[in-house]
Chain A
């Protein structure tokens, strides 16, 4: 526990038992560790961020970077499905609208789930119960938090299906998930998530399982609904195109930690971390010249049991040898402002000048 209680939080971040924050959602030094036979899997290891109502935060990273576990941790679902002794360990603070969720009564958190915070999952086919109609599932989600009769709840379900653009909602409400197309299912999933007007919506890879043509529609829908309901949205994805479309702020995760975050346009146009450069370089673009190849990030994601020492990205970083005294291999870089007064943070041993030079001279021209 000593390791868990150590605060490796970002510089300039409030840590420890500080007063309730002013942000709508504030995560402080979140750690989610899973004990396994092979060792402790540190899926999330010291993550902090804030999110205001009406804003969208995009969390970006590879598979296994801890982005989904973060979202499950906020929802209080990180231990869900874990029966028996080996439960996930979570520490840090998650403040939602003035309530700290990790120390709150679990039954209170359960009541917040679905009503104040809701989630959209990646694969709507497996995330919907195959034996119940879409209507039954939406009605259930509504009636958990509202003491209304089935008729009223059903009317609400039809209304929501109509709102998310499902044709003939009064008929389709009685369909089963397998009778819907992939896009329709995700719409139904969104309708179910929004049935209680949640203030926080977490979308975990909401378009990954969908056709390209449907992806844009779903993203548009999420954006429209956010405007309508004024919710805070966390969108989790490995697809930078998705966050470019939606996010106000971007948080890039690597090996369970945040390595860069800031306003979307900053992270997109002036990224200050070699891993973010790699992500941008791996994104296929139609406007790119044909002879240009993608620039993949070499190597594979880090083990979350034995996270590389120093900077977790150093084994894959082409610039790992630039900083002096072997710092990349021994010292873990903390998040630092890229510019005084900006809201753009990056955790890298390279100096700001070095990174600015590499980005403008070597990386940006190739993108």
Chain B
């Protein structure tokens, strides 16, 4: 088990380095080959050549590629100094550079917005796991009944209706119409109650989509597992049906759900763009959307890295949980 853990951790670190390099390649080298000058896009379209040159010097864009990669790496892990062309700017440890537009450092932007996205994703995940899995299990056990058909119809709606539809609908009904919930985002530090109230609609909206998917997967998996020989064995032992379902069938059903959860959570932590935009949540998704509109490369880069790391960590956790659930995984 420990050896397995160490192997997975090592693989994760290697993966992280690869991710940083690929991301750097995409954001700094590809524009270069495509003939887009980063310094020009930093300064603006009608800039005078001297200003562009100054920026080029300051960002180190004139240096050889390996120096740029090294500086980029160094920036992330120990911080870097922009000293080219006169004035000196210190950029402390996790340095992802500065926004091309607001000239803010990227890292504080990410750390400001990360908790919003994280709380959105985690809260929604709790909801969709609770309701999606429960609905799926019930549907599998009551296959073909009115409940099953109803639940699967709702699930179909959940999968097909886009977030900006369900989100706006819920806003219209519960916030503007009935006035039950505030659609305003309030930071956690400003009061847990108001924060919670503001998050309910985004959570439910996001969870509806995922709960629908999880319900369908749970139902299909559960039905398959219930046909397994070892479930028949469990019944042959004289176990109560409830124990057979909970202890024997559920444990096997968890495996594919866990895989999905790892990927979904990882992807959501990189920004739930639609949900955040619909509910005006100041999360990573909103930041990256604005950055794309403004061609603000360093922000896109920062969010991309955060997303990759989130997926990486989520997968690492999933792998470990996998080994906990399924003893056969520990061997490989």
Chain A interface (Cβ < 8 Å from any Cβ of B): 75, 77, 80-81, 83-86, 110-115, 118-119, 121, 123, 126-131, 133, 140-141, 144-145, 176, 178, 192
Partner of B145, one of A84, A111, A126, A141: A84
Given A83-B142, A130-B327, A176-B327, is A144 in contact with B237 using a C-beta cutoff of 8 Å?
yes
Report the bound CA distance from A110 to B140 in whole Å. 22
Contacts of A133 in B (CB 8 A): 327
Report the bound CA distance from A121 to B228 in whole Å. 12
Q: A114 touching B236 by the CB < 8 A rule?
A: yes
Given A83-B143, A113-B238, A145-B238, is A129 in contact with B326 using a C-beta cutoff of 8 Å?
no
Classify chain B: how many residues form its interface, as a range.
20 to 34
Closest A residue, CB atoms, query B327: A176
Q: B229 touching A126 by the CB < 8 A rule?
A: yes
Report the bound CA distance from A86 to B144 in whole Å. 9
Q: A83-B144, A114-B237 are in contact. List 13 more A-B contacts (CB 8 A).
A: A83-B141, A110-B238, A110-B239, A113-B236, A114-B238, A126-B229, A127-B233, A128-B230, A129-B251, A130-B327, A133-B327, A144-B238, A176-B327
Partner of A129, one of B223, B234, B236: B234
Given A83-B142, A121-B232, is A113 in contact with B237 using a C-beta cutoff of 8 Å?
yes
Chain B interface (Cβ < 8 Å from any Cβ of A): 140-145, 148, 223, 226-240, 248, 251-252, 325-328
Closest Cβ–Cβ distance, residue A22 to chain B (whole Å): 26
Q: B230 touching A84 by the CB < 8 A rule?
A: no
Q: B240 touching A131 by the CB < 8 A rule?
A: no
Closest A residue, CB atoms, query B222: A83
Instruction: Please list 18 pairs of residues, one from A and one from B, whose beta carbons are closer than 8 Å in the complex, sorted by A's number.
Output: A77-B235, A77-B236, A83-B140, A83-B144, A84-B144, A84-B145, A110-B239, A126-B229, A127-B233, A129-B248, A130-B252, A130-B328, A131-B325, A131-B326, A140-B237, A145-B238, A176-B327, A178-B328
Contacts of A80 in B (CB 8 A): 231-232, 235
Contacts of B228 in A (CB 8 A): 126
Q: A115 touching B238 by the CB < 8 A rule?
A: yes
Closest Cβ–Cβ distance, residue A108 to chain B (whole Å): 11
Contacts of A140 in B (CB 8 A): 237, 239
Report the bound CA distance from A84 to B222 in whole Å. 14
Given A83-B142, A130-B328, A131-B251, is A123 in contact with B238 using a C-beta cutoff of 8 Å?
no
Report the bound CA distance from A129 to B223 in whole Å. 16
Report the bound CA distance from A50 to B232 in whole Å. 25
Report the bound CA distance from A309 to B142 in whole Å. 37
